[in-house]
Amino acid sequence: MHTLSVKTKNQTEMIDITRDVSAVVASSGIRDGVCTVFIPHTTAGVTINENADPDVQRDILMEINKIVPRQDGYRHAEGNSAAHLKSSLFGSSATVIVAGGRLCLGTWQSIFFCEFDGPRTREVWVQVSGT
């Protein structure tokens, strides 16, 4: 397992971590298998989505913030219930096929770390398995 460090700058943001995850795959020596990206935080998540147009990430964040507003009468005393809800909606892991020693992502796809309670310094755990 390899740990990546991600520093976020905003309360909610999506950070493309594909290059860092690809580097872990390359250094693993695994030619064919799977790569699991796991976020060990309850107020952050991971998703795979378009990387070609940054407006996609802006639109995703704009809409998730409408669907799950920061303040909405939540009872959680820490004040970050919205971040917990968003994390649950996005999920804490993504799995990508590895073939020929490379991530098998579609033409426009990237792996995004999703911050919902920033800014913070976060961890991303990457595990590559196979042959």
Map out the domains of the chain as residue ranges.
2-130
Low-confidence ranges of the chain (pLDDT < 50): none
Q: In the prediction, which pLDDT does 104 show? A: 98
| Tokens read off for 9 | 């700058």
**Model pTM above 0.85:** yes
Give the separation between CA 128 and CA 131, rounded to whole angstroms. Answer: 10
Separation between Cα atoms, residue 13 and residue 43, nearest integer Å: 12
> With respect to CATH, is domain 2-130 assigned 3.40.50.300?
no
103 DSSP 8-state letter: E
Q: Output the pLDDT for position 107.
A: 96
